[in-house]
């Protein structure tokens, strides 16, 4: 992936050895568990036109946030920012989690100075709750409840 710190071979190994196996468990157990919070879902963001891996999106527990603390996180290669890919991925994951699991509340954080990421969260329906400090940095803290989200 362009401008990412990890070499491509390292990413391939991480994805094949850990991510795919964990995702398979997620898809098997999410719909059937009374509490899906112990699982982490990690997905690639793939550009449809070229089948290129351009980013990732994940959902797992964020220990720094108060319960219920399932978070959505994401990143896009700098070569593909500003095209709506993050918003599309976030909305897609929200839809999947709210329609196929028992998850009723999602959280998200973005550095206070990361205007594009904050815009993605607002466009995706998240409500700003305030500022929280994580690892000595200020983050905006967002929450989205299933009963307030408009399914698109």
| Each residue's pLDDT tens digit, 48-101 | 898 888 888 999 888 888 888 889 999 988 889 999 999 999 999 999 889 888
Residue 125 burial by Cβ neighbours in a 10 Å radius (0-12, 13-18, 19+): middle
Question: Where do the structural domains in the chain lie, given as residue ranges?
Answer: 8-148
pTM confidence score: 0.78
The pLDDT value given to residue 63: 86
Percent share of the chain, pLDDT over 70? 74
CA distance linking residue 117 with residue 97, whole number of Å: 20
According to DSSP, the β-strands at 41-47 and 52-61 are: antiparallel
Question: What's 34's DSSP letter?
Answer: S
C-alpha closest to that of 107 among 63, 144, 140: 144
In the block, tokens 């963001």 appear at: 45
Residue 6 burial by Cβ neighbours in a 10 Å radius (0-12, 13-18, 19+): exposed
In the CATH scheme, what is the homologous superfamily, with its name and number, of domain 8-148? Gcn5-related N-acetyltransferase (GNAT) (3.40.630.30)
The pLDDT value given to residue 123: 96
Q: How confident is the model at residue 18 (pLDDT cuts 50, 70, 90)?
A: low
Q: How confident is the model at residue 3 (pLDDT cuts 50, 70, 90)?
A: very low
The pLDDT value given to residue 8: 55
Mean pLDDT for the stretch of residues 2-17: 53
Sign (positive/negative) of CA torsion 135, 79, 71, 18?
Answer: negative
Mean pLDDT for the stretch of residues 131-142: 96
The pLDDT value given to residue 22: 58
The pLDDT value given to residue 11: 56
Token reading at 100: 């196929």
């Amino acid at each position: 992936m362009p401008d990412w710190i990890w070499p491509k071979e390292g990413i391939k190994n991480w994805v094949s050895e850990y991510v795919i196996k964990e995702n398979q468990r997620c898809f098997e157990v999410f719909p059937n568990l009374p509490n899906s919070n112990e699982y982490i879902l990690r997905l690639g963001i793939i550009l449809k036109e070229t089948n290129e891996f351009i980013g990732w999106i994940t959902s797992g527990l964020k220990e720094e946030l108060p319960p219920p603390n399932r978070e959505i996180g994401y990143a896009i290669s700098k070569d593909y920012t500003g095209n709506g890919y993050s918003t599309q991925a976030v909305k897609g994951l929200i839809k999947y989690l709210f329609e196929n699991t028992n998850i009723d509340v999602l959280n998200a954080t973005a550095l206070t100075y990361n205007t594009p990421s904050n815009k993605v969260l607002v466009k995706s329906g998240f409500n700003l709750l305030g500022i929280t400090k994580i690892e000595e940095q200020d983050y905006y803290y967002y929450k989205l409840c299933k009963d307030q989200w408009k399914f698109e």
